[in-house]
Amino acid sequence: VALAIDASSPALATAPTATTPETATTASFTPPASSLLVVLISSDSNSATVNPSYTVTDNLGVHLTYTQRVFAASTDTPAAGGGAAIYTAPVVTSAAMTVSVTTTSAGGGADTAAQVQVLTGGGTTPTVGANGKANITTSGTAVSCSYTGTGAGSWGFSAVSDWNATGTMTAGTGCTMIGTAGTFTGLISYGFPRRTSADGTVGGTITLAATLAAVSTAKHIAALEILDPGGAAAQIPTLVMARSI
C-alpha cells in the first residue's frame, strides 16, 4: 500500500481559553513534496444556534490552498453546540511550515483543537474520496458516522467534538485515537479517531467512532476518506471486444 501517514505529521494543537476568536498553531513541521495535509478540526461554539467558522492558513510566503471537505455544523439537524470539520491542502514543494486554525463563534466560546496529518502516496499526491458527518443529540457515550468507501486501501480520518465536555475520549472499534486532546472539563472535549489501518474498500461501509468519558447530548463527528493513489478505485466497466479468425 502506497498510502501512508508521514512521520512529519505534527502534534495536536489546542487553544482552550473559551474566548473568540481562538487560534491553534502547530509546531513547525516539514511535509514532503507531493503529500496531502489533512487538517482535522474540533471546536466549541457559543450555542446550538451559532455556527463556528474556521480559517485555515500557514506561515509560508505563498500559502497552500486549504479546501473544506466536510463540516458538521452546530445548526445541522439535529442542532447541537460545537462543530467538527476537515480541510485538505496539497503540498507541491517541501518546506518547513506551521498550520494555524482560527475559530470564530459569535458571542464567545471558540475553543479549538487542530490535528494535522501528512499523507503520502508513494510520490503521488493522495486525493480525497467520500465523507460523512453526524450531529448526535441522543443521550449516550457513542459517537460515530459512516461513509461508503470509494477506493481500495483508502484511509479514514475524523474529528469529534463533545459540547457537554465530558472528558477524554477513546477510540471506537477499528479506530485509533490520534492526538487525544485530554480533558477540557467545563469547556469542550475533543477527539480525533482515524481508522487504525488503511482498510477502505470500494463499496464498503467505513465507520469512524469514538466513545466519550460520560453521557453527552451534544456531539459532532466529521469523517473523510483519503484515497491511495496506487489503489483500485471504483471500477468503470470496460468494453472487451473479441473476435475469432
CA distances from 87 to 50, 64, 113, 165, 172 (A): 20, 12, 13, 24, 22
Among 30, 67, 93, 176, indicate the residue that binds another protein (CB under 8 A).
Answer: 176
Give the residue, chosen from 20, 34, 51, 117, that forms a contact with another protein under the rule CB under 8 A.
117
- Return the bridge partners of 39, or none: 87, 116
Contact flag: residue 142 with another protein (CB under 8 A): no
Contact 34, 120 (CB under 8 A): yes
The verdict on 16 binding another protein (CB under 8 A) reads: yes
Gyration radius of the chain over CA positions: 18
Taking the complex as a whole, how short is the minimal distance between the CB of residue 187 and another protein, in angstroms? 8
Environment class of residue 59 by beta-carbon count within 10 Å: exposed (0-12), middle (13-18) or buried (19+)? Answer: middle
Q: Could you say which of 183, 199, 204, 230 contacts another protein (CB under 8 A)?
A: 183
Residue 65 near residue 39 (C-beta atoms within 8 A): no
Closest to another protein by CB, 11 or 232 = 11
**Judged by CB under 8 A, does residue 31 bind another protein?**
no
81 vs 156 by CB, closer to another protein: 81
Question: Please, is 20 exposed, middle or buried when counting C-beta atoms within 10 Å of its C-beta (0-12, 13-18, 19+)?
Answer: buried
Instruction: Return the biggest CA–CA distance within the chain.
Output: 79
- Give the nearer residue to another protein in terms of CB position, either 91 or 171: 171
CB nearer to another protein: pick between 51 and 150? 51
Cell, residue 88 = 485538505
57 contributes a contact to another protein by CB under 8 A: no
201 contributes a contact to another protein by CB under 8 A: no
Residues in the site for another protein, rule: CB under 8 A? Answer: 5-7, 9-17, 22-28, 59, 81, 98, 100, 117-118, 163-168, 170-171, 175-183, 185-188, 196, 214, 218
